[in-house]
Amino acid sequence: MSGGTRHYDFAKELVKRGYSVTIFAAGFHYSKYQELKKYGSSFFLKEEIDGINFVWLKTRSYKGNGIGRVLNMLDYMYKAQRVVHYLKDKPNIIIGSSVHLFAVYAAYKIAKRLEVPFVMEVRDIWPQTLIDMGFSKWHPFVVLLGCLEKFLYKKADKIITLLPYAHEHIEEHGGKRENIIWISNGVDVSGSAEIEAFAFDPKKFHITYAGAIGQANQLHAFIRAASRLQEEKDLLFHIAGDGPLRKELERSKTSNVIFYGAVAKEQAIAMMRGSDVLFFPLADSPVFKYGISSNKLFDYLASQTPIIFASHAKNNVVKDANAGISINVDDEEEIIEAIKTLRSLSTSERKLLGKNGLDYVSKHFSIPVLVDKLEDGLSSLVYNLQKNG
């Protein structure tokens, strides 16, 4: 599904290289708030997808970000440890990924029980993310997560971070620099190339946003810019995605803006490839001082379409790739100016910017390149395991 396909993409590549990979995942979807699997009388379900072994865990349902979500996390932690008793093969390495820290703690406990290396993958920096959202650093839950974070950093044999500068935070909280590996999110470049571009009206100039619609995405300025450009009859703005601010933004949209709601990942990629310009906004947040690793941004780059990058994140792959224009976040004047600049370019000049993005992401952030880094980073753990018998 669209969203976080990192582990599926990595696992598929690892299977191609001869590895056996098992992914433990909850079947309850974090944004749809619904169970996607049927378990019968069991609390788990085994399934093979593209050669990858999935173990789906039946966890309690919830809505929103309250106590129900915390109980869902704890339910996952408990059942992940239980389900290991039903597996036949002992793994060589166990990776716990911090969608939440309780998942990582479950991985630590299982690895300790099976006496295999434990690797921590830091996707979101907890509890700093909660603090940045407005929680007090002295909130009991935040304090609990802070203690758990430090404990896991110290216990991990290796720490994978998605953010290029997150090692600064990890070192401050007990992690060892020599144990930290930066492996960004990335994109299946070949899979993206196989998707045919959406056939938009060739008489229009199409600017597209595809992704979540929430506070972090800063789409209000995009809508305001579209409103001010209504007289430019050849411009059409597209917004594909869903989120808590969608209805509010739809109420303020003008006739040159089209909302599509949630779309399948293949359709989103087709829309990106058929557009003239893509818009990538990201609100300011203290955590972005460690950089960003956005799946959506890598999909944008792979689509071969010029990008307007509206963010103050510490890293800027659009600038590094020379794949578009970088502007201040939430600034409708700069959005308008960037659109006009890109529209004034010839088709071949825009295609060159798009090609720059594809070349850059293929070289640095394609799934095979990232899995090479994963293999290299974890090879010493397997070596030591074999060496010790």
pLDDT at 133: 66
Is 195 domain-assigned? Answer: yes
Is the domain of 25 the same as that of 170? yes
pLDDT at 141: 86
pLDDT at 389: 46
Tell me how far apart the alpha carbons of residues 144 and 107 are, in angstroms, rounded to a whole number.
18
Is 46 domain-assigned? Answer: yes
Is 283 domain-assigned? Answer: yes
* Residue span of the structural domain in which 313 resides: 189-364
Is the domain of 371 the same as that of 360? no
Q: Number of structural domains, the chain? A: 2
Model pTM score: 0.88
pLDDT at 22: 95
List, in order, residues 6 or more apart from 115 with CB less than 8 Å away: none
pLDDT at 301: 97
**Tens-of-pLDDT digits for all 389 residues of the chain?**
666 689 999 999 999 999 999 999 999 987 778 889 999 999 999 999 999 999 999 999 998 778 898 999 999 999 999 998 877 788 999 999 998 999 999 999 999 999 999 999 999 888 877 777 677 888 888 899 999 999 999 999 999 999 999 999 999 999 999 999 999 999 989 888 889 999 999 999 999 999 988 887 889 999 999 999 999 999 999 999 988 889 999 998 899 999 999 898 899 999 999 999 999 998 888 778 899 999 899 999 999 999 999 998 999 999 999 999 999 988 999 999 999 999 999 999 999 999 999 999 999 999 999 999 999 999 888 766 554 44
Closest CA relative to residue 283, chosen from 332, 217, 214: 217
pLDDT at 338: 97
CB of 190 closer than 8 Å to CB of 302: no
Is the domain of 140 the same as that of 200? no
Is 1 domain-assigned? Answer: no
Tell me how far apart the alpha carbons of residues 20 and 15 are, in angstroms, rounded to a whole number.
6
Is the domain of 166 the same as that of 218? no
Is the domain of 264 the same as that of 175? no
Is the domain of 156 the same as that of 75? yes
Is the domain of 136 the same as that of 59? yes
The domain that holds 306 is classified in CATH as 3.40.50.2000
- Could you give the residue ranges of the DSSP H alpha helices within 62-193? 67-83, 101-114, 128-132, 140-155, 167-172, 189-193
Is 372 domain-assigned? Answer: yes
Tell me how far apart the alpha carbons of residues 331 and 113 are, in angstroms, rounded to a whole number.
53
pLDDT at 387: 45
Is 299 domain-assigned? Answer: yes
Is the domain of 167 the same as that of 263? no
Is residue 127 reached through a cis peptide bond, with omega within 30 degrees of 0 on the bond before it? yes
Is the domain of 279 the same as that of 169? no
Closest CA relative to residue 337, chosen from 353, 319, 325: 325
Is the domain of 96 the same as that of 133? yes
Is the domain of 36 the same as that of 153? yes
Is 150 domain-assigned? Answer: yes
Is 284 domain-assigned? Answer: yes
Is the domain of 166 the same as that of 203? no
